[in-house]
Amino acid sequence: MIKVTDLHKRFKLADPKAGAASGSKDPRQRGRFFYSVEGASLSCRPGQVLGLIGPNGAGKTTTLRMISGVLKPDQGSISINDEDLHSNGERVRKKIGFLSASTSLYERFSVEENLRYFAGLYGLSNCDSNDQIDLLCQQLQMDSYRHRRVMDLSSGMKQRANIARAVVHQPQVIILDEPTTGLDIMSTEIVMEFIRQQQQQQVPVIFSTHHLEEVSLLCDQLCVIDKGHSAFNGSLEEYAGDRDAVSLRRRFMAEHQQLLAEAV
């Protein structure tokens, strides 16, 4: 179970005048700080998949980085299976599998060598590593290229290997920041099927995306982040009356008309 309550995070701006001079209207820029997240809350239980959506710059990545323990919140609390992330630091962080845009692999190593290396860092025995790597190669359909060097792979193949790296230590919860960005239809389907398998294993999964079709096909729960706070938490049906992508898009667009107006 992932429980996140009222997260806040601000960043000190290198040049506070730059935003004002460019006519930036974001009310989150105040004085010398940018208040990136101001009140994000959500929860995700075993067997649930939660989709995190919101406009560009809303604060999704910042929120996910805090939940995964990469970034310390200024305020708020995060618990993983009833253990507070910040009072129990390293031990709780090991329960989390986190994929971000900066998750990377050693380019000169093969996929399997990378996974073995990261499994070792987490203290998995050789036997557990072998089993886990075999399982991940099968689930993410990487058997045909597990012995190839990462530098020779396509971006879709690399992304599947990045996901495997993020979960090689058998985490109790999984957090994926835009796992399907840039992937083709087949790779997207493989990643979506992987998420479904985690759900069946009762592993809570949170993932951010800009693709409402993925939310409609995969998620039970939805969190909409808007200008740094969670504007909606609940089921897809509560959000849009139905769980199909067209209904989700209609509600989302209705609530973000202003952004469209500003962009014109």
Ligand X SMILES: Nc1ncnc2c1ncn2[C@@H]1O[C@H](COP(=O)(O)OP(=O)(O)OP(=O)(O)O)[C@@H](O)[C@H]1O
- Contacts with ligand X, residue ranges (CB under 6 A): 11, 34, 36, 54, 56-62
Torsion angles phi and psi, residue 41, rounded to 5: -135, 145
| Cβ-based nearer residue to ligand X, 62 or 79 | 62
Beta strands in the chain (DSSP E): 2-12, 29-30, 33-44, 49-53, 75-80, 83-84, 96-99, 173-177, 205-208, 221-226, 229-235
The least CB distance from residue 253 to ligand X, in Å, is: 16
In a 3-state reduction of DSSP, which class is residue 167? Answer: helix
| Cβ-based nearer residue to ligand X, 71 or 191 | 71
Non-local CB neighbours of 89 within 8 Å, separated by 6+ positions:
69
| Cβ-based nearer residue to ligand X, 167 or 224 | 224
| Cβ-based nearer residue to ligand X, 36 or 162 | 36
Chain center to CA of 5: 17
The least CB distance from residue 84 to ligand X, in Å, is: 23
The least CB distance from residue 207 to ligand X, in Å, is: 12
The least CB distance from residue 189 to ligand X, in Å, is: 22
The least CB distance from residue 10 to ligand X, in Å, is: 9
| Cβ-based nearer residue to ligand X, 64 or 173 | 64
In a 3-state reduction of DSSP, which class is residue 13? Answer: coil
Q: How far apart are CA 74 and CA 190, in angstroms?
A: 37
